[in-house]
Amino acid sequence: MLNEIDLDAANSRLTGVVRRTPVLRSRLLDDALGAEIYLKAEHLQRTGAFKFRGAFNAIAALDSNIRARGIITYSSGNHAQAIARAAQIFQIPATVVMPDDAPTSKRQATESYGATVVLYDRYTERREDVAAAVLADYNLTLIPPFDHLDVIAGQSTCARELFEESGPLDHLIVPVGGGGLISGCALAAHRVNPKCRVVGVEPEAGNDVQLSLQQGQIVEIEVPDTIADGQQTTAPGTHTFAIMQQRVAEIVTVTDNQILDGMDHLFRIQKQVVEPSGACALAALLADKTQIAGGRVGVILSGGNISPERFIDLMGSR
Ligand SMILES: *Cc1c(COP(=O)(O)O)cnc(C)c1O
């Protein structure tokens, strides 16, 4: 399966389309952690998160006749916006199945790119079922948020760009939801430096991937209660699980309060606004959950889609 994932094709499709996001450095942070930290600023990616990479790559990889019929997906937000924007660029229709409690800002952004939003109740309905019903009616192609080889390949370009800028890294710290981002990043890391230690970070309440890797089989949990809405997944996918088993060294967890510390640090010191999931990987470093002292460390800031109201609310709650 690993050799079916075409990292180079993804890189060619995305070059000149994705934004080559900056890599941020800070002497304060390096001193505080006793390591060399490279922050990959994917909150500055098109549509505000790395998800644009995987979404665009998956749509671009389709046969043009199939693509023209339209795309459908399910997502709590960032993948939805990414699919909507990528579909708009290809001038094809997009349908997004979204939980009815998703942040309004994310829903509005999806609609602003011209996608049709179908709402469902995530506590009583399965998004896969809702999507399957619409898909069959309109002959659409499903592009899920993480368990898809071209989505994973697209996400790999995030780490690839980081390495091009930072040079070889000892550790790569990546937020984990369903594992699409870390799978792609781990494949890219392994190619340039098989010794690079790839560590995933999940919110403590939603450690489905940690449990799955520990138990050697996919473990499904309840919808987790966490502020990190980009990582409210209930289980890894079959592809992402297999890749993570081979290429991810460890998954650590952070509490919501530790995530808030990460957001606070990024705002105060780096002058960056990130959403909770976007601060998750840095939060693990600040909370001393990863052994990185003395190393060269890449950290993915995965997204920045948060409304001013929610940002103020969260920052004020500490
Ligand atoms: C989707 C998302 C994640 C998790 O990515 P997976 O590919 O599901 O592991 C992390 N952070 C943000 C901001 C996201 O949108």
Among candidates 211, 213, 283, 300, which has minimal Cα distance to 248?
213
Same fold, 2-50+149-316 and 52-142: yes
**305 CB within 6 A, ligand 1:** no
**54 CB within 6 A, ligand 1:** no
Ligand 1, atom nearest to 304 Cα: 13
CA distance 96 to 76: 10
Residue 80 CA to ligand 1 centre (angstroms): 12
**276 CB within 6 A, ligand 1:** no
Query: Is the per-residue pLDDT at 246 higher than 90?
Result: yes
**152 CB within 6 A, ligand 1:** no
Q: What is the pLDDT of residue 2?
A: 75
Q: Which residues are catalytic?
A: 51, 76, 202, 206, 208, 302
Do the strands 116-120 and 94-99 form a parallel or antiparallel pair, or are they unpaired? parallel
CA distance 54 to 154: 4
Is the domain spanning 2-50+149-316 CATH 3.40.50.1100? The answer is: yes
Ligand 1, atom nearest to 155 Cα: 7
Query: Is the per-residue pLDDT at 218 higher than 70?
Result: yes
Residue 138 pLDDT class (50, 70, 90 cuts): confident
Query: Is the per-residue pLDDT at 267 higher than 80?
Result: yes
The predicted-structure confidence for 102-114, as pLDDT tens digits, reads as follows 778 778 889 999 9
Tokens standing for residue 317: 């709650």
Average pLDDT score, the chain: 95
What is the rounded average pLDDT of the residues 124-151?
90
Share of the chain above pLDDT 70, in %: 100
Phi, psi dihedral angles at 103 (to 5 degrees): -55, 135
Q: What is the pLDDT of residue 204?
A: 98
Give me the sign of the Cα torsion angle 281, 286, 291, 295. positive
Neighbours of 280 (CB within 10 A): 35
- Give the residue whose CA is nearest to atom 2 of ligand 1: 230
**146 CB within 6 A, ligand 1:** yes
Residue 306 CA to ligand 1 centre (angstroms): 14
Domain-by-domain residue ranges, the chain? 2-50+149-316, 52-142
Share of the chain above pLDDT 90, in %: 86
Q: What is the pLDDT of residue 76?
A: 64
**178 CB within 6 A, ligand 1:** yes
What is the rounded average pLDDT of the residues 15-41?
97
**277 CB within 6 A, ligand 1:** yes
Which of 277, 280, 282 to probe ligand 1 with, by most ligand atoms within 8 A of CB?
Answer: 277
Angle at 226 between CA 309 and CA 303, to 5 degrees: 60
The predicted-structure confidence for 168-193, as pLDDT tens digits, reads as follows 999 999 999 999 999 999 999 999 99
Note the Cα 107 to chain centre separation in Å. Answer: 17
Residue 176 CA to ligand 1 centre (angstroms): 6
Q: Confirm whether pTM is higher than 0.85.
A: yes
Tokens standing for residue 301: 């800031």
Is the domain spanning 52-142 CATH 3.40.50.1100? The answer is: yes
